[in-house]
């Protein structure tokens, strides 16, 4: 069956360090992968999209990589700040269907 | 632009009652979605629509119905609420593009409790 896994439910990182979150998938061949941020009590907000033919995408302190051989995406936040604390969701398109599938998310805590 | 709005924000129902959740978007998006989010389960797709007058089932459609009579609105109905439908419901919309949907814009959510 199709499956998306985000590496851990929660991750604690010291302020100023790089936070790395993992998204692994099986039985998919997604054309693109997205990362969203969700704060408590709010809806998810889109951060970055990376296509299957792109190895890396950057936006300010955020970097996403996409390895279709390993079936894995890594999401990095450099110079992390307490304001980066949130839940981060990865999402994949599922091919010809007009929808995307979300992982369960990783709760990131940046410790001051 | 308001983006995606959801009505109501909170609701408490008794088992067997019915209700309709309203989602509205002002971005002229073709695609609209209803998700539910439960602790430890992530976002699960209930129903979605790829255009006015069309709907399709998602991962967890049982106990829900939807309608998309106008492009900007997507309604989610619970005909006979059950405690298992206690959840936070999110609506989302996206543009249509070749190869699948674009990035999704989410509403603020509706917190529903069924007693």
Q: Find chain A residues with C-beta within 8 A of B90's C-beta.
A: 43-44
Q: What percent of chain B has pLDDT over 70?
A: 96
Mean pLDDT, residues A17-32: 90
Which of B29, B42, B57, B102 best probes binding to A when mutated, by most A CB atoms within 10 angstroms?
B42
The yes-or-no verdict on residue A56 having pLDDT over 80 is: yes
Whole-number pLDDT of residue B74: 98
Using one digit for the tens of pLDDT, what is the confidence trace for B22-57?
999 999 999 999 999 998 888 999 999 999 999 999
Distance CA A8, CA B56 (A): 32
CB B102, CB A32: distance < 8 Å: no
Q: Could you tell me if B39 lies within 8 Å of chain A, comparing CB atoms? A: no
Strand partners, B37: B43, B88
What is the residue-averaged pLDDT of chain B? 94
Cross-chain CB nearest to B41 (options A91, A96, A104): A104
Contact A51, A31 (CB under 8 A): yes
User: What residue of B is the nearest CA neighbor of A51?
Assistant: B99
**pLDDT tens by residue, B82-102:** 999 999 999 999 998 776 668
- Whether B14 shows a pLDDT value over 80: the answer reads yes
The pLDDT value recorded for residue B99 is 66
Residues of chain A neighbouring B33 (CB-CB closer than 8 A): 99
Residues B11-20: what's their mean pLDDT?
97
Decide: A106 and A88 in contact? Cβ < 8 Å. yes
Instruction: Give pLDDT, residue B100.
Output: 65
Show the tokens assigned to A69: 């051989």
Closest chain A residue to B49, measured at CA: A98
CA distances from B74 to A97, B28, B114 (A): 19, 13, 22
Give the minimum alpha-carbon distance from B103 to chain A in angstroms, rounded to a whole number: 7
Q: Which of B104, B107, B109, B111 is the mutation pick for testing A, counting most A CBs within 10 A?
A: B104
pLDDT tens digit sequence for A86-108: 999 999 987 666 778 899 999 99
Residue identified by tokens 């119905």 is: B65
- Give the mean pLDDT of B105-114: 97
Q: Which of B109, B112, B99 minimizes the C-alpha distance to B6?
A: B109
Q: Is B52 helix (H, G, I), strand (E, B) or coil?
A: coil
Of B33, B112, B84, B110, which Cα lies nearest the Cα of A41? B110
pLDDT band at A50 (very low <50, low <70, confident <90, very high): very high
> Above 80 in pLDDT, residue A40?
yes
Closest listed residue to residue B96, CA positions, set B70, B65, B71: B71
Q: Is B34 on the interface with A (CB under 8 A)?
A: no
Bridge partner list, B20: B77
């Amino acid at each position: 069956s199709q499956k998306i896994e985000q590496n851990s439910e929660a991750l604690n990182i010291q302020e100023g360090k790089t936070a790395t979150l993992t998204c692994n998938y099986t039985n998919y061949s997604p054309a693109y992968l997205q990362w969203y941020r969700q704060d408590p009590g709010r809806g998810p907000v889109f951060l970055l999209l990376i296509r299957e033919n792109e190895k890396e995408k950057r936006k300010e302190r955020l970097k996403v990589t996409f390895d279709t051989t390993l079936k894995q995406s890594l999401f990095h936040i450099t110079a992390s700040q307490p304001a980066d604390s949130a839940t981060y969701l990865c999402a994949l398109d599922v091919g010809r269907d007009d929808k995307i599938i979300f992982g369960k998310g990783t709760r990131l805590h940046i410790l001051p | 632009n308001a983006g995606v709005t959801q009505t109501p924000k909170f609701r408490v129902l008794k088992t067997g009652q019915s209700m309709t959740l309203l989602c509205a978007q002002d971005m002229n998006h073709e695609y609209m979605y209803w998700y539910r989010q439960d602790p430890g389960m992530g976002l699960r797709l209930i129903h979605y629509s790829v255009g006015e007058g069309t709907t399709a089932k998602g991962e967890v459609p049982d106990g829900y119905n939807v309608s998309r009579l106008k492009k900007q609105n997507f309604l989610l109905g619970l005909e006979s609420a059950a405690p298992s439908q206690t959840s936070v419901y999110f609506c989302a919309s996206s543009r249509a593009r070749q190869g699948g949907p674009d990035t999704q814009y989410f509403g603020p959510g509706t917190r529903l409790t069924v007693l």
